[in-house]
Amino acid sequence: MIQIEGVLEGDIKAQDLVHITETGKISGNIEAKTVFIDGEVSGEIVADKVEIGEKGKVFANIFSTVFVIQEGGIFEGNKKLKKETMEISYNDNSEE
């Protein structure tokens, strides 16, 4: 888990949870499995789940499969469904 309690200008890439606390402020992109925002984020978020807490403020484009905004949370931006990576296999074992 990565927890941000201060100001960060830059991108975050994590395999698990990114939590931006009430005192946290990020200007940059976030890519993680889960992102929970109690602070403020400006940028782009790509995650399986994004949750904006009651004091969270998000000014970003969000790509996720699950998106939750608690009462009081602020979201300004675009939300698009994150498509799962599809693996396509092709078998050309045709016999003549």
Domain count, the chain: 1
What pLDDT sits at residue 93?
52
The answer as to whether 21 is a domain residue is yes
Give residues with Cβ within 8 angstroms of 96, minimum separation 6: none
Q: What is the mean pLDDT of each run of 10 residues along the chain (96 residues)?
A: 96 97 98 97 97 97 95 95 56 50
pTM: 0.83
8 A C-beta contact, residue 47 and residue 34: yes
The answer as to whether 91 is a domain residue is no
The answer as to whether 95 is a domain residue is no
8 A C-beta contact, residue 9 and residue 27: yes
Q: Which residues constitute the domain of residue 65?
A: 2-81
The answer as to whether 66 is a domain residue is yes
What pLDDT sits at residue 95?
52
The answer as to whether 89 is a domain residue is no
What pLDDT sits at residue 84?
62
What pLDDT sits at residue 86?
40
